[in-house]
Amino acid sequence: MTTSKPLSPADADAFGRELDALRAEVLADLGQADVDHIRRMIRLVRYTEVAGRVLLHFGIGPLTFALGVSALGASKILENMEVGHNVMHGQYDWSGDPALDSKSYEWDTACPAEDWRHSHNYEHHTFTNVLGRDRDVGYAFLRVNAAQPWRVHHLVQPISAAVLALLFQWGVGMHDLRINETLAGQQPVSELRRRARPFLRKAGWQLAKDYVAYPLLAVFNAPRVLAGNLIANGLRNLWTFGIIFCGHFPEGVQLYSAEQTSTESRGQWYVRQLNGSANIEGSHTLHVLSGHLSHQIEHHLFPDLPAARYPELAPKVRAICERYGQVYNTGSFAAQLGSVARQLVVNALPSGRNALRSVA
Amino acid sequence: MLALLARAPRRTRALSRFQGTGARLAASAWRRWFLDRHAEFWLGQLGSAWSPSELRARVVEVIDETADTRTFVLAPNRHWPGHRAGQYVAIAIEIDGVRVRRCYSISSGASAPGDRIAITVKRVVGGRVSTWLHEHLTPGHVIGLGRPQGDFVAPTSASPLLLVAGGSGITPVIAILRDLENRDAVHDVVVVHSAREDADAIFGRDLAVMALQHPGLRLVAHRTATVGRLDAATLESLVPDLATREVYVCGPSGLRGLVRSIAGDRVHSEAFTAPIVCAPQPDLAVRTVQLRDRRLTLAGTGTLLEQLERAGEQPAHGCRIGVCHTCRCTKQRGTVLDLTTGRISSEPDEEIRLCVSIAHSDLELAL
């Protein structure tokens, strides 16, 4: 597999300046069309949710059940990915609309938005793929890259990854609790308890909503509604797991060490974001349902530009990468997912290769 | 018996904890999110001005006052607290996807919750908001509304009054007059209304009608196109008993200064300060920053975050490179440069990121 050409500090700066220029172009052009897009998405989320719930609550037979589950699942996927994730990044803060405000948005998943804004927007996006700093690398318990040290529990990681996929919202929700650190004796139980409080509140609310309140409203149809909500949540879990794992864990994605990045320039930060991310090629529908995380590279270069702008940025970013000899990691959903699966299997076993890529 | 005594308080504790949980749940952010936000959305879909938490108003009527001035009659929703005549209000509208706020005097008299109010807007050449209002704001539109503000309000005492208005400065003055009229308190009032000519004297006709109806109201229609600008001598000859009157003045700074030079401390004045656009002064090293409850002096170079930290503040922050938006805050006044976008932000109430912003003037931050 080809790797990116190491860039001198001057080249990295030039690379960064070209990306800054792209960013400035989009910023200068933000306006009504961007706000219209995200509001259209919010409408789609709300209307599909109502359609899904009505079909589940009042429908009879398997066809309306399947339709209801699909509509509700699609609604949750869109809400989490295209609306929630992107709004919380501050992609629409410039609009000044309180409904699109990154700091007060709360989403329909087990993870409290406040935890997410810290662990994702700050930790993951600042220290992307830096071992020991970015806790999203294998979610701190999977070995997705040979540069990570091998532990015995990695032997069963194909199975633990499958379980994580099914329960992904709970995995994401408990991510900021750092349970593994408490198990390893690095975090006191009291700190764990403090971190758990917002999660438990949010989780309780989510469980009460989907598995108590709505089924109760359905009276006789309660079991059907409960099952429908469970499957819709599960579908959303599988989809988000797939998209997110394809973003950082396919073969060829680079990991970095804290020392390598301690004196990083803005240009070198861009280089790391590029080499730490991978894209998925596909249709407009796939892009929207992935919250445009199918353009993970553009997202990591420009996390606070409206995500719907990534498709128009992608060819320009790719052209810049070619000129600087940087690998633009992209492939079909099947190819990238297969690559992630191979990484999970191969790295379940101990391997000798343990070198981190140098940034410079 | 002892055991029972010991257990009873525990049961009460459990009960109160249960009730506490219920109250917390009801007041929690998630209730606001799941119930209020859904309600906001569906009400928005219905085009309703009703909202569980936001103060909004529906435009019910648009009235042409002069060639370039219109009055917009608004029906605020149930969050409107009422206002005192002479106060102003911020309105929020969306222009090209961006919410902008501007303050306008309320030109109608005092209101109670549930009452209609009116704002009167002169179209300013090159003014983005006033132009938008004139071109797009029609009956049926729902706009955002702030709470009423300002202490340029109608007098409660019965002392003789002098109201001086220049140009669009007539808007809070007519509000005060209408309030006096409603309270049947137009006993001894002189209004000096300065405008360029009759055609652009806002509320010129309303004032004339009022003067006919109320013997206690004397109107001086001063037209600068024919008799020139108002000066001290003219004002004193127009209102010989000026010294005995309580004075209200609203208009350009020249007019306010003139009235204050004659009447001194007895003057209530209102300035229509357009958004203050401070010229960038990057060479000036020391700036003051007004936070919510304290004032700081920032010295040295660096971003606002660095300067605030040096001054002993601990603003919330994350990445320090403009990525995570944790340090975002509202800049209420002043000018900053965003290092990542190269953009100068000088309008009031714009959101800035402290970690990538450089102060170009003294600032007021919502911190």
- Name the residue in chain A with its Cα closest to that of B96: A32
DSSP state of A276: T
- Name the residue in chain A with its Cα closest to that of B144: A97
| CATH code, domain with B324 | 3.10.20.30
Cβ atoms of B73 and B155 closer than 8 Å: no
The CA distance from A350 to the nearest CA of chain B, in Å, is 34
| CATH code, domain with B253 | 3.40.50.80
For A358, phi and psi rounded to 5 degrees?
-80, 145
The CA distance from B228 to the nearest CA of chain A, in Å, is 44
Q: Does B345 touch chain A (CB under 8 A)?
A: no
Same domain, B188 and B263: yes
Among B270, B304, B337, where does a domain finish? Answer: B270
Please report residues of A whose CB lies closer than 8 A to that of B319: 122, 125-126
Calpha distance A359→A8 (Å, rounded): 9
Cβ atoms of B364 and B333 closer than 8 Å: yes
Same domain, B110 and B176: no
Rounded to two decimals, the pTM is 0.84
Calpha distance B79→A318 (Å, rounded): 51
Q: Is residue B18 part of a domain?
A: no
The CA distance from B114 to the nearest CA of chain A, in Å, is 24
Cβ atoms of A151 and A209 closer than 8 Å: no
Q: How many domains does chain B have?
A: 3
Among B270, B296, B324, where does a domain finish? Answer: B270
Same domain, B253 and B207: yes
Q: Is residue B150 part of a domain?
A: no
Of A34, A94, A122, the CB nearest to B326: A122
Same domain, B266 and B291: no
Domain hosting residue B308, numbered range: 287-365
Q: Is residue B336 part of a domain?
A: yes
Among B114, B145, B176, where does a domain finish? Answer: B145
What amino acid occupies position B46?
L
Same domain, B250 and B323: no
Q: Does B343 touch chain A (CB under 8 A)?
A: yes
Same domain, B79 and B172: no
Q: What is the pLDDT along chain B (367 residues), one digit of tens a residue?
A: 333 334 444 445 554 555 555 555 555 556 666 677 888 888 888 877 888 778 999 999 999 999 999 999 999 999 999 999 999 998 999 999 998 888 899 999 999 999 999 999 999 888 889 999 999 999 999 999 988 988 889 888 888 999 999 988 999 999 999 999 999 999 999 999 999 999 999 999 999 999 999 999 999 999 999 999 999 999 999 999 988 899 999 988 888 888 888 888 778 888 764 433 333 344 455 788 988 888 888 877 788 998 898 888 888 888 888 888 889 999 988 889 888 877 888 888 888 999 999 888 889 999 8
Calpha distance B278→B335 (Å, rounded): 6
Calpha distance B167→B149 (Å, rounded): 21
Write out pLDDT tens, residues A88-100: 999 999 998 889 9
Burial class of residue B102 (count of CB atoms within 10 Å of its CB; 0-12, 13-18, 19+): buried
Query: What is each CA distance from B31 to A106, A135, A187, A209, in whole angstroms?
Result: 10, 30, 32, 11
Of A20, A27, A93, the CB nearest to B351: A93
Cβ atoms of B124 and B116 closer than 8 Å: no
Q: Does B78 touch chain A (CB under 8 A)?
A: no
Please give the ipTM for the structure prediction.
0.83
Contact A209 B340 (CB under 8 A): no
Q: What is the pLDDT along chain A (360 residues), one digit of tens a residue?
A: 578 999 999 999 999 999 999 999 999 999 999 999 999 999 999 999 999 999 999 999 999 999 999 999 999 999 999 999 999 999 999 998 889 999 889 999 999 999 999 999 999 999 999 988 898 888 788 999 888 999 999 999 999 999 999 999 999 999 989 998 899 899 999 999 999 999 999 999 999 999 999 999 999 999 999 999 999 999 999 999 999 999 999 999 999 999 888 889 999 999 999 999 999 999 999 999 999 999 999 999 999 999 999 999 999 999 999 999 999 999 999 999 999 999 999 999 997 454 454 433
Cβ atoms of B154 and B176 closer than 8 Å: yes
Same domain, B73 and B141: yes
Same domain, B177 and B264: yes
Calpha distance A269→A129 (Å, rounded): 11
Q: Is residue B16 part of a domain?
A: no
Calpha distance B51→A307 (Å, rounded): 29
Give the residue from B202, B193, B127 showing the smallest Cα distance to B168: B202
The CA distance from A183 to the nearest CA of chain B, in Å, is 27
Cβ atoms of B71 and B107 closer than 8 Å: yes
In 10 A of CB B329, how many CB atoms? 18
